[in-house]
Amino acid sequence: MTLSRIQRSNTACFPKTIFLLLTVVIIPINGWADTIDFNRDIRPILSDRCFHCHGPSEDDREANLRLDQPEGEEGALRSVDDSTVIAPGDPNASQLWHRITSTDPDERMPPADSNKKPLSAEQQELFKQWILEGAKFDNFWSFVSIKPVSLPDVDDAWASGMIDSHVLAELEREGIRPKPRADQRTLIRRVTFDLTGLPPTPAEIDQFLADKSPDAYADLVERLLNRKSYGEHMARYWADLVRLADTNGMHKDFFRNFSTYRSWLIRAFNDNLSFDDFIRYQLAGDLYETPSEDQLIASGFNRLHMIIDKGTALPEESHHKNVLDRVEAFGTAFLGLTIQCSQCHDHKYDPISQKEFYQLYAFFNNFDGAPETDRAPKGGIQTPAIELASSPDEPRPDGTLAMVMKERSTPKPTHILVGGAYDVPGERVERKTPAALPSMKPKDGIYTRMDLAEWLIDPAHPLTARVAVNRFWQQFFGTGLVKTSEDFGAQGEWPSHPELLDQLAFRFSDSNWDVKELVRSIVLSNTYQQSSDASPEEYRNDPDNRRLSRGSRYRMDAEMIRDQILLLSGKLNTTMYGPSVKPPQPPGLWKAVSMAAPLTYVADKGDAIYRRSIYTYWRRAMPPPQMTILNAPSREFCTPRRERTNTPLQALLMMNETEFFSAAKACAQVSIEPGKGDDDQRLTSLYEKITSHLPDPDRLVLLQATLNDFRNVYANNPQLTQSLTTEFVDLDDKQRIELAAWTMITHSLMNLELAKVKR
């Protein structure tokens, strides 16, 4: 017998609600468990088809029936007028069963006007089996406190630790064997990219290959964790999540300077700031008794929201939008919930009422300052701000300022806003957290953002550690254990390995929130080190590698691709910190979205344009086109995960973009310097430099033939050769032909799948 597991992802982000297509996965029930699991098998279907009318939202509830809870006057197990909604053990006595199987359009649920599909035969069978087994309800899995999980019993030398044991236990249940360890060259390339965002150099590859000690890989990991580039790479993911950018993001989209927050972020990861302090500093760094400079800078997290220009909206409306943005960032970054869906009404899927939304809103409603509507303040800094001192590792010009958060001395009253309208206040509310989650510790007086931070990192809190661990896992495998890393609510997906997620979360908080220790445990696991090679059938059966039966394989993010090309060219500027830079871009960039003459794109000069992509100037109305074509977000909204598409524009970018082509030319120049050997040696060296691998004999023959073809093309077309090498005034014709041919072979190698895909 086969049953369905329905998975639906809702990436709601007010005011846009994006409903992803429903995916049906047919899985043998014995491959998962001996009995039906309510959270895994039943709740996702109820959430998708039923909760809109029979869920947490009181305003939308029909027939006084809740299908998200069993007991109570509206609970699913109640009986009314001799009719029982769900009769445990007896489908025929259950109205739910009759309604989902009825062929009468007036009886069938969900109703035709709901635009929801009727349940399939497999889904109906799933409900029947659940009712027969007693119709057991469970508290929603992500709202249940995390407890330590015992290791599964696996008798296999492959499982070297906790991660491997949980993964292998699931694979054994499905009769699947994990893949062997990736070869050494693939492994060093994979882990170097994953920990630094850059490829290994040939010298680093040689060092790793020459180290025959059993700790060679572990030693490599430690070297990478201690590099400054580690912090730059880790900060990039957080920048997406908290919408770090260089402009306001609305109307005229003026400059706003958050370079000091970015610098703090990089240092926090490099210094391995514990994640609990990472949360405290950002949510409430300004509320320490004597806050340090770092704590104040980090509190700028609360200022990263978009703002409306002065004169575009009334001050109270601007203030309201700023606070909404802060609340959404809090809910997405730390809770992994779409709490913003409750600003106009009770959440339709998760147990968060409109009142509870505004109780959270009250924590962020006390900003000491006028609504942030300055047109274009000097240096992009809006008050309140602090002046920073210079430090040995981060020299700063005198008078460098950082925007910070600051509380009013007298708390601003907060009201439920009727229908979400800023000018229609209703009941006054005080600061409080949702009742479905653990309560805040009792306190005399008003709760503060520091209390909110402490609530998040309380060991009893079910979401904070799970959400954080899942996002780190997503960085290394391409997909989180919970695929919908943006939504741990009822519209999100069930974890692929729930016990592994909980064990990782428990250990993370128990380790004093040690980020590097978590990262280390992931990349040292045999699960991570597997080969990504698989048959077409294996890829079809598990395209996202949800079973973790192999190493993950996916296209690298935009920043990794660009930074790699700059490194290969020898031009990468590794200077850290400081203001954002504008690399060369196509003429007229910003013209279509600029409403003021000063807002024209002027590229920086010198080697600043070759800095890592984390430092690239990010205008929200027009982000760097190289990044957006490769799926980088605009950073107008919190983005916990990027989508990966495959479009012709991406190929055109990689093959024609001026910066990328110039990098190929610079890399080719190095390859043909005197003393580099004959063609075979140069081609072998170039191939290794770009892919971290050595070409096999057949590929080397193909590369030589291709190089000769390019030589012939340019020898027979002097005008084309001249146009490709115009900047080199001292080269003779023969040298120009050689440079042009090697530029094209380098360019071709940079466009190989091996150069763009993490595997």
DSSP designation for 546: T
User: What is the pLDDT at residue 247?
Assistant: 93
Question: For 205-226, how does the pLDDT look when each residue is reduced to its tens digit (9 = 90+)?
Answer: 999 999 999 999 999 999 999 9
Nearest CA among 50, 56, 44, 53 for reference residue 20: 44
Greater model confidence, 19 or 678: 678
pLDDT of 15 > 60? The answer is no
* Average pLDDT value for residue range 687-703: 97
pLDDT of 486 > 60? The answer is yes
Nearest CA among 60, 562, 628 for reference residue 354: 60
Q: How confident is the model at residue 22 (pLDDT cuts 50, 70, 90)?
A: very low
How far apart (Å, rounded) are the C-alpha atoms in residues 452 and 279? Answer: 10
Question: For 309-332, how does the pLDDT look when each residue is reduced to its tens digit (9 = 90+)?
Answer: 777 888 899 999 999 999 999 999
Cβ atoms 189, 200 nearer than 8 A: yes
pLDDT of 474 > 80? The answer is yes
Q: How confident is the model at residue 375 (pLDDT cuts 50, 70, 90)?
A: low
Greater model confidence, 60 or 97: 97
Greater model confidence, 430 or 399: 430
Which pair of tokens denotes residue 437? Answer: 């989650």
pLDDT of 3 > 80? The answer is no
- Which of 68-77, 305-314, 680-689 is predicted most confidently? 680-689
Which pair of tokens denotes residue 321? Answer: 């939008």
* Average pLDDT value for residue range 416-434: 96
Lowest mean pLDDT among 13-22, 36-45, 294-303: 13-22
User: What is the pLDDT at residue 276?
Assistant: 98
pLDDT of 24 > 90? The answer is no
* Average pLDDT value for residue range 268-275: 98
* Average pLDDT value for residue range 255-279: 97
**Cα within 13 Å of Cα(70), Cβ side:** 13
pLDDT of 30 > 50? The answer is no
Which pair of tokens denotes residue 334? Answer: 């730390």
Question: For 136-157, how does the pLDDT look when each residue is reduced to its tens digit (9 = 90+)?
Answer: 999 999 999 999 988 999 988 9
Predicted TM-score (pTM) of the model is 0.92
Q: What distances in angstroms separate CA 246 from CA 581, 604, 620, 697, one per listed residue?
A: 10, 15, 8, 49
* Average pLDDT value for residue range 417-446: 95
